Amino acid sequence: MQHRLIVVTDRHGCPRPLVDQVALALRGGPFALVLRDKDLPWEERHRLAAEVGIMVAEAGGVLIVADPEGPVAAAHLSARRAVPDPRPVLVGRSVHAGEPIDPGLDYCTYSPVWATDSKPGYGPAVGPAALADVCAASPVPVYALGGVTGPDRALAAREAGAAGVAVMGAVMRAEEPEHEIRALRGALV
């Protein structure tokens, strides 16, 4: 994947409607967007993907749909989800500390690197040193996830060998998501 920054959606944490939050974030530059919000019925998520996908593509980003229930160009899968058939062009997976990384993926997110408020309960944070070991041994590009709260941690993840970072709360909860995107992208160069 060409992007070093992945933004994961969470419409419940946004200070405004999700579409508006994403539009403001895209002013900060392109990124890969994982449309998560898996509590929505598939038809509604599919409609939202079409709406947000246009904005993301026009900005130079890529839309990735989490655990799709129909054909998509790019999919991000939960730990135990099978790769869809037909296989999307781009397939990533969430990998948590201690789980193996499938060499058939195009990328994975690895978490939790730091303690996170967005998804507590996935075990203790592994830290940048363990992330470096995972990145060195991984058969696919690894994106650090969990507690990436700003550019300092994005830089630490890159220095540990991560291809980039995935963030949720830092952008989804931001009053000024454009500034968060600019700061994160600046650290990931």
Q: Which CATH class is domain 5-187?
A: alpha beta
The residue assigned the tokens 């998501």 is 177
Q: Where are the domains of the chain?
A: 5-187
- Of 71, 77, 103, 111, residue with least CA distance to 91: 77
pLDDT tens digits, the chain, 189 residues: what are they?
889 999 999 999 999 999 999 999 999 999 999 999 999 999 999 999 999 999 999 999 999 999 999 999 999 999 889 999 899 999 999 999 889 999 999 999 999 999 887 666 667 899 999 999 999 999 999 999 999 999 999 999 999 999 999 999 999 999 999 999 999 999 998
